[in-house]
Structure 1
Amino acid sequence: MAYESAFSRYRRTADDKVIPWREANDTAARIGGWRAYARDAQQPDPAASAPAATPAQPATKAMPMPQGHGGHKMP
C-alpha cells in the first residue's frame, strides 16, 4: 500500500498566471466568446453516448387515481 496525501496535487490560486482583463477578454472573443462555451455545453458527454440500461419494469401495475380529486368536494 502507498499513501498519498489528499493535498499532494493541490494548486494554490497564487500559482496561476494572472493576465490583464483586456487580454482575457480578447482571448475569449478570439475563440468565439460565450457562444463557444454554449456550444461546448451542448455537446454530449462521452459517457452519455453509451447505450443506457433499460429500466426495470414494475412488478405490478399502479392503481388508477380516483376521479374528481380523490373524493374531495368543492364548497
Structure 2
Amino acid sequence: MVTSTLSPSVRASLPWVLALFAGASFAQASTPEAASQPPLLTTLQYSSPIQAYQGYVEQPVQSWRTANDRVGQIGGWRTYAKEAKTQAPSSPTPDAAPVSDPHSSHHGGGKQ
C-alpha cells in the first residue's frame, strides 16, 4: 500500500490544478486558420544608444598663459558663478529661520 505525504487539502485541489494546466495547454495550441494567414510584413530597425559615442581623445597641450588668457576673456570664475546662480532651482524663502551653526550637532554639539 502506498501512503501519500500530501495534506488532504492539497490532495483535494490536485485534480483542479491538473485540469487548469490541461486547459492552458489547449488554449496555446495554434489553430489551422491562424497558420494559413500570411505573416505580417514589418520592418524592425535598431539603433544603438552608443552608436554616436566618441571615445576620449587627448587634447593638445597648450601654454598655461594662453589658457589663463582665454579664461580671462570669457570672464573668469565670476562668469561661472553667475551662471550657477541663475541656474539654481530656488533660493530659500526669507521667512525661513537661519541656521546658527550647521555643525553644532557634530561630536556632541560642543566646541573644542
- The TM-score with structure 1 as length reference comes to 0.45
Larger RCO, structures 1/2 (Cα 8 Å, 6+ apart): 1
Q: Which has the larger Rg? A: 2
